[in-house]
A and B are shown apart, each in its own frame.
Chain A
Amino acid sequence: MNVFQYFSANSQQILFLTQAHFLYVLICVGIGSAISIVLGLIVSTGEPNPTRFSFDWWATGIREGSLLITAAVLTVPSLALFVLFLPITGLGVTTAIIVLTVYSLYTVLRNTVAGLTSVDRAVLESARGLGYGRVRRLLTIQLPLAWPVILNGIRVTTLISISIAVVGSIVQGPGLGQLLLTGITRIGAANAFPQVLIGTFMCLVVAAVFEIAFAIVQRLTIPRGIRV
């Protein structure tokens, strides 16, 4: 069977895996981004030089610590991380989702922190001078102004996650990894090559769908005054 024959013979299964892959990435990046943004909001409220043991002092510590840990996680080979979780959560979707979520934390957290803290000091000072409290300032000024940077972080994380999600099939995670893994482990055998090729191609399709979605979300959610 050539690639096209294989595709038409297995189209239903391929489409199912593609859709599963899409949802797998969507769920993990969704959870990961939500955690990162909330964490980023809590720890980025600080002043530049907080006094010892104040709220800002703790926030600064937690911020640097969590950036360090999430960055360290990124350097662990994905294959190893999936396997390391096996003794704790076992084979299956749970492990796959936990690991991919953990992977997606760093980029969004870093961009959230960077975006929130790089807001023009004059803007923040005038907000304070007009009677904006801390939370109001964070949610109505810093967050919208940081949003393009945060969204970009989510986008980068999504693209990376699409390929890491493939590795998730090692712990029987969902998605195109199953197709690719079957093909790769049996390379040389019949249908192995079409499986790898189609698996790769469908990953690109998933990426394209995400890119289109991001373009739309960007258009809809970035305030008009700061669109470039």
Chain B
Amino acid sequence: MSDTENMIVLEAVEKIYPGSSSPAVERLDMAIPRGEIVMLIGPSGCGKTTTLKMMNRLIEPTGGRIILDGDDVTDVNGDQLRRKIGYVIQQGGLFPHYSIADNIGVVPKMLGWDKNRIKERADELLHLVGLEPSTYRDRYPRQLSGGQQQRVGVARALAADPPVMLMDEPFGAIDPITRDRLQDEFLEIQRTVGKTICFVTHDLQEAVKLGDRIAVFGTGGRLAQYDSPDTVLTSPADDFVSDFVGGGAAVRRLSLLELSRLELHPIETEEKAVGNRNGTPVAEVDGSGRPVAWRHLPDRDAAGTTLVTVPLSGTVYDAVDVMLDGSASLVAVVDEEGLPQGVLHWNDLVAGLKTRERGA
């Protein structure tokens, strides 16, 4: 009965709270593949938190089975089970009387690691979540901002290197700008740690940005659709999902499309382009080769067009944002060093975006 593909499997899991007649989660079947980020999303009160908490048995299911990494954990000791599963909640929940390093070390300490190893691990994780260990390890939670506390919360959940992380709206109480940065960092971290992550959110944008898959819940813990973000946006399974996804699905899809996957138009820089003023836009570059202004554009006045740039690691959504912001009808896509890699035109959006083969 061992299932190597899936890290977490819920089989007909059900929760009826005492004193309640209708189930909060009704006979839920769901499989979470190893190494993927699965986003649980749905209207408030639909049973996302209940579902998540049944995975580590913070809430005991009233029916069904929970399989973790091939083992039935429906009846094992809950406390011991939870030490092997990372858990992050919205309000951080750091222990106010423990230093940051001690907070990160709580699970390793329970598991009996020796002191030096715990210390090293705390430093390593602080580094991973972007907090300088020498500055932060001896501080206390109240001396950290909300965003920093949430980073420590993630570090603490990762401390004993659990294969699975459960996160309940971890960035829900963070201001939008910080949240955006935390999401980017989160994806970066996941690229190095490769955990199986179950992540509750009520923010569709967040679900689309972070998820390998999205599970859309309807009221009563009904799993309405469980698919890739692209599929959820483009072909909602039923009226409920399409209402939930709402209008703007086409715009949201833009944030799924990475610029690195697109066929971009070529771009020339000044020196190379002498005598080649045909259909290729030519940019003027500074000393380090970064484009600063348009020298020549094939079909319009170069001097009157602002040169805006977007990093290659961004999405089409970012490119559109930059173009709107700069009132420019084209954008130069640049690499990490700021060197031009190509051009994306406003017209490409309507004409249909050409993608290259993945991994090419």
Contacts and interface: CB of A to CB of B under 8 A. Distances in A.
Q: Do A and B come from one complex?
A: yes
Interface of A: 51, 120, 122-133, 136, 141, 144-145, 223-226
A225 B82 contact: no
Interface in B61-117: 79-84, 87-99, 106-107, 110
Contact of A223 (B80, B81, B97, B107): B97
B79 A131 contact: yes
B253 interface: no
A209 to B, nearest CB: 29
B236 interface: no
Contact of B91 (A122, A132, A226): A122
Contact of A123 (B82, B87, B96, B140): B96
Q: Which of B83, B97, B156 has the most CB of A within 10 A?
A: B97
B281 interface: no
Contacts of B93: 120, 122-127, 129
Contact of A129 (B89, B94, B110): B89
B96 A226 contact: yes
A130 B98 CA distance: 15
Given A131-B83, A144-B97, A225-B99, A125 B142 contact: no
Contacts of A145: 96-97
B18 A225 contact: no
Nearest to A134: B79
Contacts of B94: 123, 126
Contacts, number: 75
B97 A225 contact: yes
Interface residues of B, number: 32
A129 B98 contact: no
Contact of A132 (B79, B81, B140, B142): B79
Interface secondary structure of A, over-half rule: helix
A68 B77 CA distance: 37
Contacts of A120: 91, 93, 96
A48 to B, nearest CB: 13
Given A122-B90, A131-B83, A131-B107, 9 more contacts: A120-B91, A122-B93, A128-B82, A129-B58, A129-B82, A129-B93, A131-B84, A132-B79, A225-B96
A123 to B, nearest CB: 5
Contacts of B141: 225
B95 A141 contact: yes
A125 B98 CA distance: 16
Contact of B82 (A131, A141, A223, A226): A131
Contacts of B92: 122, 126
Nearest 6 interchain pairs by C-beta? A126-B93, A129-B87, A131-B83, A225-B140, A223-B97, A122-B91
A128 B106 CA distance: 12
Contacts of B84: 131
Nearest to B84: A131
Contact of B107 (A130, A133, A144): A130
Nearest to A145: B97
B104 to A, nearest CB: 11
Interface string B137-179: 0001110000000000100110000000010000000000000
Contacts of B51: none
B95 A125 contact: no
9 contacts: A120-B91, A120-B93, A126-B87, A130-B82, A130-B110, A131-B110, A141-B95, A224-B97, A225-B141
A174 to B, nearest CB: 39
B201 interface: no
B269 interface: no
B56 interface: yes
B153 A126 contact: yes
A181 to B, nearest CB: 46
Given A122-B89, A225-B141, A129 B96 contact: no
Nearest to A123: B93
A168 B92 CA distance: 51
A131 B162 CA distance: 12
A223 B159 CA distance: 23
A125 B89 contact: yes
B141 to A, nearest CB: 7
Nearest to B99: A225
Contacts of B142: 225-226
A218 B99 CA distance: 19
Given A51-B18, A225-B141, A130 B96 contact: no
A129 B92 CA distance: 12
Contacts of B153: 126
